[in-house]
Structure 1
Amino acid sequence: MTSKFFRRGSGISRTPPSIPSVAALGRGYEGLRVGAQISWLPATQWKAFCDYEKALSESLTDQPMTRLCAYPVEAPGVAEILDVARTHHFSLARRHGQWDVFEASELDRPNEKIRRRDEEQLRKSEERFRAVFENSAVGIVLQSGDRSGRFLAANAAYQRMLGYSAEELRPLTFMDITYEEDREANRRLANELLEGKRQSFDLIKRNRRKDGTLMWVSIHVSLIPGTQSNDRLFMSIVDDITERKRAEEALSRSERQFRALFEEAAVGIALCDSAGRPFESNRKLEQMLGYSAHELRGMPFTAFTDPEDAPADWSLFTDLLSGKRDHYHIEKRYRRKDGALLWGDLTVYIVRDDRGQPMFSIGMVQDITDRKRAEQALQEAQAELAHVARVTTLGEMAASIAHELNQPLAAIVADANASLNWLTKPHPDLDGVREALTAIVQDGHRAADVIQRTRQLATKTDPQKVRLQVNDVIEDIVALIGTELRGREVSLRLDLAPELLPVLGDRVQLQQVLINLVMNGMEAMAAVGDRRRELLIRSQRDAGQVLVVVQDSGTGIDPDKMHRMFDAFFTTKPSGMGMGLSISRSIIEAHGGRLWASPNAGPGATFQFSLPTDSKGEA
């Protein structure tokens, strides 16, 4: 629009429509007059001035909006006129044919609200950024967006990390606080950011604190673009991960130690899944079984376990998975790849996650094949020695056994002769013959029992453990020692508890232990002449075990020799071998029990042994 100037007195000018003018048109105004400082105009002349403005407006009907400025200057220029328009104090506006007087701000209010709203939002945004910047738990740094990376601002968290104040950081660059070995990587990434090759980068590196110590940090760096009034900036988010790195290093060190222990262990180790398949195994286990790690990975442990031992091992393993136990220990046989048998001492633990669910199991196996062979050889030697001891005992009891045998044989002969005499009479006494023959049968069985028990003790056999009643074993040996008791003038008293639970044992070996204890008791009473010679055999329950007591009224036990009485070849008898009690203890211990001795409160001594019960059923 062409500008025109009208002069009257102090001067009237017309200027193009401005933003306030457009806003006024939008609100239904037909014309606008903007006045500058007109304090020179008396109030009595305002009506005349308005009439003038009205006439002037009517003469400018070709323009929808006119803006007038009045100012007291003689020779105004365009700059002055525009300046007056920008700094006007009030306006005259026509709407619906009427002129009103307004403060300029009333016409300009919508834009003012927008401006104030924008300023308020900017202020709040700056306040939020400042609050985040100052109160963040991680370090926030602003650095110059050039290759120097000079510090411009650092929040309190970052200052605490490095021990520098904001003032001490300003002359420094990011290279000054970066550990020497990490500088090149940091410089390369920063250059790529400046060259536009990346929008941001993440880096884990070491920084050097003010005190010289090193710290690990994780940084996220982005480039903030510049504006006409502001240069571009590096903004870094810095997290102190020193403790995490220490924990990672400790974990890594622990893993290296575990790996060294795992690979160099003297025992076989395997990590197994829930199906019992080793997903990791060490060299020792591979050497023991003859399989490679790859071969073991596809095999459940039952595949290289001896078939007789596999069910028990698998049952324990399922208990482990179900939470019934947290570990188990078992001695079992393995089958090597070449088919050879290997004995292993196995311990298995379960590893669970935070929810208690099984993750994997750890099995540790020690090769005990040599030990098992030595144990077998020892058992054979002990069995041989026990047999010798039994035969020796039978030799000592030969007279008693012969007497036990002679009694039924003599009775058989007598009854047979009587029967013959009765049968030769004209009227045979058949009832008498019948009774005699019945007695002969009974005495024959009695003699056969003596021979069978004697044969059992004399025969060399491998130990055979079966479920049996201890009271039956006691009654077996009583049948053999009756004559010995009478010959030594010893009275025997039995106190056997009824309905004892069965034990798992070798009948002959347990008979040998009882005969040895009874014979020792009778020999201990041989020199007793001032009191009765009494021998007590008692059986009773004792906390899930069966306890057998053999008590005599002899000379007792010398306290100085108590600790040696179960040693091999130790004896107090002039003609003894010193093997009886040693063999008896080894037999009881092989049955899972215990044998011990103690002096009586009165005369004599008591020998006791306990055996674990086998409660799976009746014997």
Structure 2
Amino acid sequence: MEAGRMAPKTPSNRTEERQALPPPSEQPVAERTAALSRTIAQLQKQIRRLRRVKRALAGKAGRLRKIFDRAPIGIGLRDMQDRFLEGNPAMTQMLGYSQKDLRSMNLGMIIHSEDEPARQALFQELVEGKKDFYQLDLRFFSNDRGLRWGRLHDSLVRGVDGKSLYSLVMIQDITREKQAEAELALHRENLRSLASELALTEERERRRLAEFLHDEISQPLALAKIKLASLQGNLSDPCLIQQAEEVQELLGQAIHLTRNLTSELSLPVLHENGLVEAVEWLAEQFQEKYGISVCVNRNTEPMDALPEGVRVLLFRSVNELLTNVGKHAQARRAEISFWQDNDYLYLEIADNGIGFDVSSFPTRGRGFGLFSVRERLRHLGGVLKVNSAPGQGTRMTITVPRTGTEDSAPVW
């Protein structure tokens, strides 16, 4: 064989070469098989997880459907045009429409025309994102039961992009609740009327007693004093003169007490001069009795237009509160103020006394007086507010509506 030339391969040489080399695709196939096995395992795991999620979602959907179907209040879904998409059995029963009929209606069709504008305004705020939900008591029409009262709760369901998908509305029939409220209001009004009539009867009896004291007791006592004075001038016995003077003094005390009692019963200063002037007179009497300086601030217009029953109630309230100040406050000075606005009249009594714990006042001696004033004001639609603290004095404010009528104003 010449140099530089390769000897030709014999068949035996080729066989040996093939046996020495590995199969050309044996290694890649094994790798692909392993990778495919791992992928299949991961897919199977994902499938099992998705099946579990599906079963869980199916369970939740079933529970939600049961809640939807068995809820005791009406639940419905509406599109953004206010049309019903679906209603639960309680909704169809309450409204008196079938599911098919309900899908052809919108919510505004069943709402009372006087209540619909308020609902539309709240729903618009809901759509604009100003509210997450709204609740409103309104009237609605039931197909088979007529006009009803309902408590409507409305909220939006939004997608992941924040866009409104549909509305979830719940309606609870509160007709019985509203009827009970109306009956309770009527009972309260009847009780108020009874209390007012009782108070008016009491005031009329006071005046009758005052007239009796004036005509049947005060005048005879005054006449007896005059006659005794006439007889006293004819007496010469010093012992009889002294006894006559003692009788004169006793008669004077009886006349004074009778006149005071007559004034307290009939309140001539209130009926003749008005509320503010009567309170000024009361302040003078209080200052004389308890030695406490009282200032009356007349920062208000004349109140002659107030019904007589209201004036009597306020006057007797001031008398009761001043009596509490005189008995319990240990004050040196008190101040009475009047003012009013378009709707209310305010009357305030403040003192610089020892004060007290407001939360404990019902157990104190002053408690019944304050309770009595509060109850009588409540029948008039008024309130008594007490601000006090130990060592800080007391401020008591009466607030009554200026629209009180004679019939609704209970008197003392």
User: Is TM more than 0.5 here?
Assistant: yes
Specify which of 274, 283, 287 is matched with residue 93 of structure 2: 287
TM-score (norm 2): 0.58
Alpha carbons of structure 1 residues 339 and 158: separation in structure 2 relative to 1, 3 Å:
closer
> 1:386: Cα distance to partner?
3.4
| Residue aligned with 1:572, SS | helix
Where does residue 324 of structure 2 map in the other structure? 524
> 1:381: Cα distance to partner?
2.4
Where does residue 156 of structure 1 map in the other structure? 38
**Aligned residue pairs: how many?**
308
Unaligned runs of 5+ in 1: 1-38, 44-70, 72-82, 88-121, 141-154, 162-236, 408-478, 498-506, 541-545, 612-619
Alpha carbons of structure 1 residues 306 and 587: separation in structure 2 relative to 1, 3 Å:
farther
**2:74–2:88: 8 Å Cα contact kept in structure 1?**
yes
> 1:525: Cα distance to partner?
3.6
> 1:326: Cα distance to partner?
0.7
Where does residue 597 of structure 1 map in the other structure? 386
| Residue aligned with 1:341, SS | strand
Q: Does 1:581 align with 2:377?
A: no
1:256 alignment partner AA? G
Where does residue 124 of structure 2 map in the other structure? 318
The superposition leaves residues 110-147 of structure 1 with CA deviations (integer Å, 9 ceiling, x where unpaired) of xxxxxxxxxxxx969x84x7666544xxxx4xxxxxxx
Specify which of 123, 128, 134 is matched with residue 328 of structure 1: 134
**CA RMSD for the aligned pairs?**
4.9
Alpha carbons of structure 1 residues 598 and 379: separation in structure 2 relative to 1, 3 Å:
same
1:343-422 paired onto structure 2 within 5 Å = 343-390=149-196, 403-407=269-273
2:368 alignment partner AA? T
Specify which of 550, 573, 582 is matched with residue 348 of structure 2: 550
| Residue aligned with 2:368, SS | coil
The superposition leaves residues 562-594 of structure 1 with CA deviations (integer Å, 9 ceiling, x where unpaired) of 4689xxxx9725xx9x665247569879xxxx9
Where does residue 82 of structure 2 map in the other structure? 276
Q: Does 1:483 align with 2:278?
A: yes
> 1:304: Cα distance to partner?
0.8
Determine the C-alpha separation between the residues in 2 that align with 1:297 and 1:609: 56
| Residue aligned with 1:486, SS | helix
Where does residue 368 of structure 2 map in the other structure? 572
> 1:370: Cα distance to partner?
1.4
Where does residue 535 of structure 1 map in the other structure? 336
Alpha carbons of structure 1 residues 313 and 581: separation in structure 2 relative to 1, 3 Å:
same
Where does residue 235 of structure 2 map in the other structure? none
> 1:357: Cα distance to partner?
0.8
1:240-251 paired onto structure 2 within 5 Å = 240-251=46-57
Where does residue 212 of structure 2 map in the other structure? none
1:156 alignment partner AA? R
Determine the C-alpha separation between the residues in 2 that align with 1:319 and 1:390: 46
Unaligned runs of 5+ in 2: 15-23, 208-264, 287-293, 301-305, 401-412
| Residue aligned with 1:276, SS | coil
Alpha carbons of structure 1 residues 587 and 347: separation in structure 2 relative to 1, 3 Å:
farther
| Residue aligned with 1:350, SS | strand
**1:538–1:549: 8 Å Cα contact kept in structure 2?**
yes
More helix by share: 2
| Residue aligned with 1:302, SS | helix
**1:595–1:610: 8 Å Cα contact kept in structure 2?**
yes
| Residue aligned with 1:156, SS | helix
2:374 alignment partner AA? L
2:140 alignment partner AA? Y
The superposition leaves residues 156-186 of structure 1 with CA deviations (integer Å, 9 ceiling, x where unpaired) of 3556x6xxxxxxxxxxxxxxxxxxxxxxxxx
Alpha carbons of structure 1 residues 352 and 372: separation in structure 2 relative to 1, 3 Å:
same
Determine the C-alpha separation between the residues in 2 that align with 1:533 and 1:606: 10
| Residue aligned with 2:140, SS | strand
Determine the C-alpha separation between the residues in 2 that align with 1:309 and 1:239: 56
**2:298–2:338: 8 Å Cα contact kept in structure 1?**
yes
1:341 alignment partner AA? L
1:54-453 paired onto structure 2 within 5 Å = 127=28, 133-135=33-35, 140=36, 155-158=37-40, 238=44, 240-338=46-144, 340-390=146-196, 403-407=269-273
% identical equivalent positions: 24
Alpha carbons of structure 1 residues 298 and 381: separation in structure 2 relative to 1, 3 Å:
same
Determine the C-alpha separation between the residues in 2 that align with 1:610 and 1:239: 75
Where does residue 97 of structure 1 map in the other structure? none
1:327 alignment partner AA? F
Determine the C-alpha separation between the residues in 2 that align with 1:336 and 1:494: 59
Alpha carbons of structure 1 residues 522 and 324: separation in structure 2 relative to 1, 3 Å:
same
> 1:384: Cα distance to partner?
3.3
Where does residue 188 of structure 1 map in the other structure? none
The superposition leaves residues 291-349 of structure 1 with CA deviations (integer Å, 9 ceiling, x where unpaired) of 22222222221111111111101110111111111111111111211462211122212
Determine the C-alpha separation between the residues in 2 that align with 1:158 and 1:495: 95
The superposition leaves residues 269-298 of structure 1 with CA deviations (integer Å, 9 ceiling, x where unpaired) of 111111222212122222222222222222
More strand by share: 1
> 1:355: Cα distance to partner?
0.8
Alpha carbons of structure 1 residues 284 and 251: separation in structure 2 relative to 1, 3 Å:
same
Where does residue 395 of structure 2 map in the other structure? 606
The superposition leaves residues 369-421 of structure 1 with CA deviations (integer Å, 9 ceiling, x where unpaired) of 111111112222223333445566666597777545534xxxxxxxxxxxxxx
1:534 alignment partner AA? E
Determine the C-alpha separation between the residues in 1 that align with 2:279 and 2:198: 15
| Residue aligned with 1:332, SS | strand
Determine the C-alpha separation between the residues in 1 that align with 2:362 and 2:267: 34
The superposition leaves residues 496-520 of structure 1 with CA deviations (integer Å, 9 ceiling, x where unpaired) of 79xxxxxxxxx99xx79x9386465
Alpha carbons of structure 1 residues 282 and 299: separation in structure 2 relative to 1, 3 Å:
same
Alpha carbons of structure 1 residues 339 and 366: separation in structure 2 relative to 1, 3 Å:
closer
**1:524–1:555: 8 Å Cα contact kept in structure 2?**
no
Bigger radius of gyration among the two = 1
Alpha carbons of structure 1 residues 548 and 558: separation in structure 2 relative to 1, 3 Å:
same
**1:401–1:480: 8 Å Cα contact kept in structure 2?**
no
| Residue aligned with 2:80, SS | coil
| Residue aligned with 1:240, SS | helix
